[in-house]
Amino acid sequence: MRIGEESTLQCAVGFLILKSMRELPKRPRIYIRIPNWVGDVVMAEPFLRAIRERYPNAIIDVHGRPHLFPFIRPLGYYDEEIPLQRSRGLLWPIKEGLRLKRLKEEPYDLAILLPNSLSSAMIAHAMGARRRVGYRLNGRFFFLTKVLGVRKVGKLRPIPMVSYYLDLAKAVGADISKIQHCPALPVTPEAQKYAEEFLTEKGGKDGKDIWALNMGGAWVTKQWKIDHAARFCSLVIEKGHKVLLLGGPGEEGLAKEVQTRVNSSAIFGMPDAMVPLDKLVAVLKRCRILISTDSGPRHFGIAAGIPVVALIGPTHPGYTGVDYDALKVVCDQAPCWPCHLKKCPLPEPEHHKCMTALTGDRVFHACEELLTRVAQK
């Protein structure tokens, strides 16, 4: 295809998109299936903003796991939350779609699916949404009315999720040219009060001497080594700072082990106290820096606007890239990297080498370098 022909085709596609969107009612009913993971939902904030700006008068409902709603609710980008109810059996998406159909008097005019799952497309189809938009993945072409192709870069597709979601917004007529490719989350008065009381009660104080550390992750391969984390905490404390340990359910053991090895009153937070997701940004805004594995808290640190050091193991950082200057990625590209596996199949001494290489001293120096760079701006 020649350059001129490609340009003409792009214009034609753009015209068809705009024409299709103009056919929506003046106050369209829009359904959005949000992602399943905490970090992905945070990275979907620019998408939600773009949809609300494009359709300010629309009735927008979001559908997803209930624990994901509290920290995006204050954004005010949607009207109603519908908790996902997953039942047993292969046909559960159809049951869920029919449940949503019964909940609503009229079918949705537009359904936008952020997850790539087949089940999300089946739900949108079963509930009778007139237009159903999503990516061409996992054999769900039949259930969609508008399918987006996936831009591939080599064997992987390390496309930042923020851009990946914004392309969906663009496909339904949103102007994404002025949308910042970096998530932002508001701090409510309730969260503000919680952060003040939490840091006072647990031994921190409202200064810039608190270093937040999240060493856990949903995958074992994403978790930071306890020895390295303990060494890092010791270095931070030696410099006169305090360490706030963050984590989620099931990660109490990691935090307890680090506290035991360091044995210092300058460490607080997990496992004694777990910061709720809807209060996390408010707490992080009072921290000097966040050190996090490739998991949800990392994205909250960026949304809070503080320096963030990301410890990347088996995953490609290209998927989670954002336009944020105060971010430093520490990643050891082992020969098997990136594998994107939840469990490392290699024996010693290669086992989990990608995270073993991220020593406490190396990460501490990376933090000092980032803080110096941020201070010089």
pLDDT of residue 152: 61
CB crowding 178-187: b at 16 or more within 10 Å, else e: ebeebbebeb
Phi-psi region of 210 (alpha: psi -120 to 50; beta: other; left: phi over 0): beta
The answer to whether 132 and 146 are in contact (CB under 8 A) is yes
Strand order in the sheet with 29-33: 80-83, 59-64, 29-33, 110-113, 132-135, 146-148
Distance from C-alpha of 251 to C-alpha of 256, rounded to nearest angstrom: 9
DSSP for 187-205, written as a single string? --HHHHHHHHHHHHHTT--
pLDDT of residue 320: 86
Strand locations in 242-300 (E): 242-246, 267-269, 289-293
Domains of the chain: 23-171 (3.40.50.2000), 189-375 (3.40.50.2000)
Q: Is the pTM of this model over 0.95?
A: no
pLDDT along the chain (377 residues), means of 10: 43 47 84 96 98 97 97 96 93 96 94 97 97 93 92 66 96 95 95 93 67 92 95 96 93 93 93 93 96 94 96 89 93 87 90 93 97 92
Count Cβ atoms below 10 Å from residue 106 Cβ, excluding itself.
10
Element (H, E) at 113: strand 110-113
The answer to whether 162 and 182 are in contact (CB under 8 A) is yes
Q: Between the CA of residue 182 and those of 44, 153, 188, 221, 296, what are the distances in Å? A: 9, 22, 20, 26, 15
